[in-house]
Structure 1
Amino acid sequence: MKVLITENLRIDLDSEQWECRHCGGVLHPARDNYKRGLLVYNRDPREIHKPLLDPSKYTLTYSPNPEWCRILEYYCRHCGAMIETEYLPPGHPPVRDIELDIDALKAQWKDRPEVAEAPIGSDPPRKVHSHDHGAHR
């Protein structure tokens, strides 16, 4: 059983592995941080957020200082799809932003049909009220 987790990640509950939703490539054990199975590009934040003021004239340019901020981009090692991006202070380890109870997930999905693609396009049903909000003005 494969369970969709994010737009880029799913978990194979049988093998307990993170997978890329773009190519199906196995990334890393699901009980660990999925980022450990990805390629990482440590970006200079000035490449992403260009200085608004001339750095030769001004110390503060409205661009992140690379001594205080780094941008990590995570990519699937099989297909190169970008999986995640995070802003961190230099030296900070990657954030473990998803930690699931795999055993509970297995129990929750044991009798459900597998969902291969997230449903797109329909609005959730609206609850119809039987009273008039404007009646007590």
Structure 2
Amino acid sequence: MTVRITENLSIDLATEEWCCVACSHRLAPARMNYKTGCMVAEVPMEEAHPPLVEGQALSFTPHADFCRLVEFYCPSCGTVLENEYLPPGHPLTYDIELDIDALKARHAEQDGRS
């Protein structure tokens, strides 16, 4: 059974793996950070936040010395799974940690009632 967790991420409860919703590619074990199975790209700040007026920098544009935009893609189909702003050198965040055993138990109960 596959359970959708976010718009683009699901968990296969039988194999306990993170999967891409778009193509079902297996990303990483569900008890780990799904980002370890993603393609990762850092987007330059000037590309992510181009000036609205040609030749002028915007005061609210994050400065590249203090902030970076990191994007996470499915390595199979290229779907963007997540993005985050981080200070340079900061480790990737572990933003989703689920109780897999409880999730499996809940879905087993639901299957028993169906």
Give the TM-score of the pair, scaled to structure 2. 0.89
Alignment of 1:14-93 (within 5 A): 14-52=14-52, 54=55, 61-62=58-59, 63-93=61-91
| Alpha-carbon shift at residue 111 of structure 1 (Å) | 2.8
Q: If each structure's strand is expressed as a fraction of its own residues, which one has the higher value?
A: 2
Q: Which has the larger radius of gyration?
A: 1
Question: What are the superposed Cα offsets for residues 54-110 of structure 1, whole Å, 9 maximum, x if unpaired?
Answer: 46xxxx742211000000011000101110010010001111110001011111111
Distance in 2 separating the partners of 1:16 and 1:102: 8
Give the residue type in structure 1 aligned to 2:96: I
Distance in 2 separating the partners of 1:99 and 1:30: 8
Give the residue type in structure 1 aligned to 2:79: A
Describe the SS at the equivalent of 1:110.
helix
Q: If each structure's helix is expressed as a fraction of its own residues, which one has the higher value?
A: 2
Give the residue type in structure 1 aligned to 2:101: D
| Alpha-carbon shift at residue 112 of structure 1 (Å) | 2.2
| Alpha-carbon shift at residue 25 of structure 1 (Å) | 0.6
| Alpha-carbon shift at residue 22 of structure 1 (Å) | 0.2
Describe the SS at the equivalent of 1:111.
helix
- Aligned residue for 1:130? none
Give the TM-score of the pair, scaled to structure 1. 0.74
Describe the SS at the equivalent of 2:84.
strand
Q: Which runs of 5+ in 1 are unaligned?
A: 114-137
% identical aligned pairs: 50
- Aligned residue for 2:106? 108
Distance in 2 separating the partners of 1:78 and 1:112: 32
Describe the SS at the equivalent of 1:11.
strand
Q: Report whether the alignment pairs 1:11 with 2:28.
A: no
Distance in 2 separating the partners of 1:39 and 1:7: 18
Q: Could you say what the CA RMSD is over the residues aligned between the two structures, in angstroms?
A: 1.5
